[in-house]
Amino acid sequence: MCSVSLKRGRFTIALYGQIPARCGADEGVILHVSGAHGVGGTLGNPSAKVGAFYLYEIIMQIADQTVASFHYTLTDDNGQVIDSSQGREPLTYLHGTGQIVPGLEKAMVGRVAGDQFKVQVAPGEGYGEHHPELMQELPREAFQGVEDIQPGMQFQGHGPQGVINVTVTKVDGEKVHIDGNHPLAGQTLHFDIEVTDVREASAEELAHGHVHGEGGHHH
Ligand SMILES: [Zn+2]
């Protein structure tokens, strides 16, 4: 058995039965794909005798223009669970569009359904570094129209790069402490991942830049 990768890098093809002499060289391999998953179809290799057929299995790999679903558990440096999809539907995303943090998106490339792996993501490839300048004290009158300001409340504010979400961290008399950092900024993210499905994105999904159907948009 050997594997041949297609140019676009989307599939791994496992050949069974007769193995062509030039197996491994992806140039010259003509593939007629009848379905994204499963076993069957025909593979003709110009280096093999004309009409030679092989059984093959196509295993979709995560790459640009694929839709992947996965379960995740996210823990911090102390092993505390921050978030998890366990007990819920897996998360489904369109790969290559920045819908998940960059460090995780990189680690997903080439994975196939059934893969389980752990990956550590540094803040720079996660939710960003922690910027102390985004922590500020504001006078209470900056929150006009809000009667009862409590820690945990979120507001939109203006940061150096446009609108940012700020969270009230402390109310101290007439002073309101706010933090414009993402709650996970500055943290190393420890992901435990299980890929549950990989499929090709539809033309419509690519045009919209998001997933449709199960786990995605319904419109
Ligand atoms: Zn859409």
pLDDT tens digit sequence for 187-207: 999 999 999 999 889 999 999
The pLDDT value recorded for residue 3 is 55
191: helix, coil or strand? Answer: strand
CA distance 109 to 95: 9
Exposed (0-12), middle (13-18) or buried (19+): which is 10, by Cβ within 10 Å?
buried
Mean pLDDT of the chain: 80
Spatial contact of 81 and 74, defined as CB atoms under 8 Å apart: yes
Q: Looking at the predicted structure, is the pLDDT value of residue 36 above 80?
A: no
The beta-strand segments (E) located in 21-152 are 30-32, 38-39, 42-44, 55-60, 66-75, 81-84, 91-94, 116-121, 135-139
Average pLDDT of span 156-183: 87
CA distance 105 to 98: 7
CATH classification code of 132-179: 2.40.10.330
* Cα-to-centroid distance, 102 and ligand 1 (Å): 22
Q: Looking at the predicted structure, is the pLDDT value of residue 137 above 80?
A: yes
* Cα-to-centroid distance, 91 and ligand 1 (Å): 17
pLDDT classification of 15: cutoffs 50, 70, 90: low
Average pLDDT of span 14-22: 50
* Cα-to-centroid distance, 11 and ligand 1 (Å): 25
Q: Looking at the predicted structure, is the pLDDT value of residue 4 above 60?
A: no
The pLDDT value recorded for residue 14 is 53
The pLDDT value recorded for residue 61 is 86
pLDDT classification of 39: cutoffs 50, 70, 90: very low
Average pLDDT of span 124-131: 95
The pLDDT value recorded for residue 11 is 54
* Cα-to-centroid distance, 203 and ligand 1 (Å): 10
* Cα-to-centroid distance, 201 and ligand 1 (Å): 12
The pLDDT value recorded for residue 45 is 46
The more confident residue out of 60 and 7 is 60
The pLDDT value recorded for residue 20 is 52
CA distance 198 to 214: 13
From the list 138, 179, 184, the residue with the least C-alpha distance to 159 is 179
* Cα-to-centroid distance, 41 and ligand 1 (Å): 32
Average pLDDT of span 156-166: 79
* Cα-to-centroid distance, 66 and ligand 1 (Å): 15
68: helix, coil or strand? Answer: strand
Q: Looking at the predicted structure, is the pLDDT value of residue 96 above 90?
A: yes
Please give the structure tokens belonging to residue 4: 């041949």
* Cα-to-centroid distance, 25 and ligand 1 (Å): 38
Give the DSSP H/E element, type plus range, for residue 206: helix 203-208
CA distance 147 to 78: 37
Q: In the chain, where does the domain assigned CATH 2.40.10.330 lie? A: 132-179
CA distance 200 to 216: 14
Q: What is the DSSP code (8-state) at residue 105?
A: H
* Cα-to-centroid distance, 217 and ligand 1 (Å): 6
Q: In the chain, where does the domain assigned CATH 3.10.50.40 lie? A: 66-126+186-208
4: helix, coil or strand? Answer: strand
**Top-tier CATH class for 66-126+186-208:** alpha beta
